[in-house]
Chain A
């Protein structure tokens, strides 16, 4: 069976998803609640911080405009609170990550320290981007999420266990059934979320599919090598 990487996704290459994929069967750590529905990726990282050619250093800009006013003074936001500084489990509400497809959003969260996101629902591109970084996204009901957020508020040092394989979230003696998209669960638990390597192994079949399409010309195909 796969090992428990505790969500320590490979990010040594600085850009995520660089080396061979590791398994992400569970994530443990303290939590941080960010409340509200429809938190879009413009809020998670404003567009002006995307004028970069690497993802390095994006963590400091997570939720930037919600955290700082025009004079760069801190506003009330969980990501500004010392008690949540070490958190690795983000608890959110409905339709989190909607809007722009920018991977800068989950990159910023991951680089701030988030290893797993639990929410009522996620925009699909956002969830896909998280998967590509080895950051699981789990869903549970509105009531369960509200209870979890309230508990985190009261227990900022409390440990939360996000079990991707078993699809549960456990905190303070409570275990909640959470849903992980099946493909995401298998990819993370079996260490198959490095889709570049996975799909690269099928280059011959890809070429055949490409050649069968009427709009693909022969000179657009790579040389057959396998």
Chain B
């Protein structure tokens, strides 16, 4: 078993007791709530006549069903309106802080938590959304949970969990031009498999991870779940602390920052920590990575050939065949040149300000391809405002992108933003499952934000490094 890791330390600090089942009862320091997975849990609480135990450690926002164009109430979609109304009622009755659209703080739950300073090192964070693993970027232990567990947390402030093993994933070297955090995590999942992390939490480290900004770390931790890991985290360091100093809670209360910092420092893994497994990835060797299939593990470097199913592990061959049929790709080809109909820049993986900045730098002075429908959906209203103030929104609009309001949008198609028919989408999101983006015949190619921008302007999957011949751009 691991020893001296952040996981061990934070777990121990939050362990209330061991339950008769052998699971630990773990205190939850931050419970994030959104509209899709919580209404049934609040309903169960009412049936039991139980109140929310720790409303002050709970924070709500709305993201999955929110329209990204017309947000006037009632929403055009009755089901969306009902879910929003239910959430409003639940947070009002329980006294839970709510970043609703009128607050100016609304956004995807995994963007909102960090930017408001709610996500902190050494906290346990849960939410009824698998991408809660995102918050591990701050050195928090963050778990996606189901609705019955949401009920547990609302009623008791705790979850029942078993301790997992810790796998250290060391990414050495330096990421090359055009290579981003997204490429790192797509290659980790490719190497270890979509179920390779079952039984583990992942600790990401090494020079290539430590030199990333917080947004990059969030992108990596975000997709831990795509690799089967129960959680993923990066040890807190000066990059973390500098970022937090600018987060809303600590701008409002800098003394609280100084008071908490020693605790944050204390939870980082010890230099001689013991891990259950260690995996090393050569960061120097990575290139922009895109998926060719229908799981996030079916990825390939942009210059590499798509594998033949028979060359893969026997247990991966069948799903590879089905995926290649669905995606209409052939072994031996590269993904470069794959025609796309839609470009989606958004999601809890890649809709933060630096993501939009990098993509805008590719877009500036270019136009969206005439056959492409291109959307930018900022991760939060704060990101949206900042991008508008910086002129990024204008860059996208002038190029022909739709500039939309914050939400989950086309990542999973629970609002009006969906693929139609067999459209192919260059997407900065996290899942390329069949049907994920709202059409069961839709085809999703995952990639980093700059690559999405490149695909938007060329109309096909494109190595962003090949776009060097830029039109003249005014400074």
Contact = CB atoms under 8 A, between A and B. Distances in A.
A181 B21 CA distance: 11
Contact of B122 (A38, A121, A215): A215
A34 B396 CA distance: 44
Contacts of A133: 148
B39 interface: yes
Contacts of A215: 29, 120, 122-123, 260, 263
B228 interface: yes
Contacts of B16: 199, 202, 205-206, 209
B83 A53 contact: yes
Interface residues of A, number: 71
Interface string B123-161: 100001110100000000000111111011001111110
Contacts of A121: 195, 198
A170 interface: no
B206 interface: no
A216 B57 contact: yes
A203 interface: yes
A200 B155 contact: yes
Contacts of A219: 56
Contacts of A16: 148
Interface stretch (B300-308, B379-387, B432-440): B432-440
Given A103-B37, A213-B27, A220-B54, 20 more contacts: A43-B434, A51-B79, A54-B40, A65-B434, A95-B194, A101-B128, A104-B147, A125-B145, A125-B225, A128-B149, A133-B148, A183-B22, A184-B21, A195-B148, A198-B25, A198-B160, A199-B152, A199-B156, A214-B263, A215-B29
Interface of B: 13-17, 19-23, 25, 27, 29, 36-37, 39-40, 43-44, 47-48, 50, 53-54, 56-57, 64-65, 77, 79-80, 82-83, 86, 120, 122-123, 128-130, 132, 144-149, 151-152, 155-160, 162, 194-195, 198-199, 225-226, 228, 230, 259-260, 263, 295, 315-316, 318-319, 322, 412-414, 431, 433-436, 438, 440-441
20 contacts: A15-B44, A18-B47, A38-B295, A51-B77, A51-B80, A53-B83, A54-B39, A54-B43, A65-B435, A99-B225, A100-B412, A121-B195, A128-B146, A193-B21, A195-B23, A198-B25, A199-B160, A209-B27, A213-B27, A214-B260
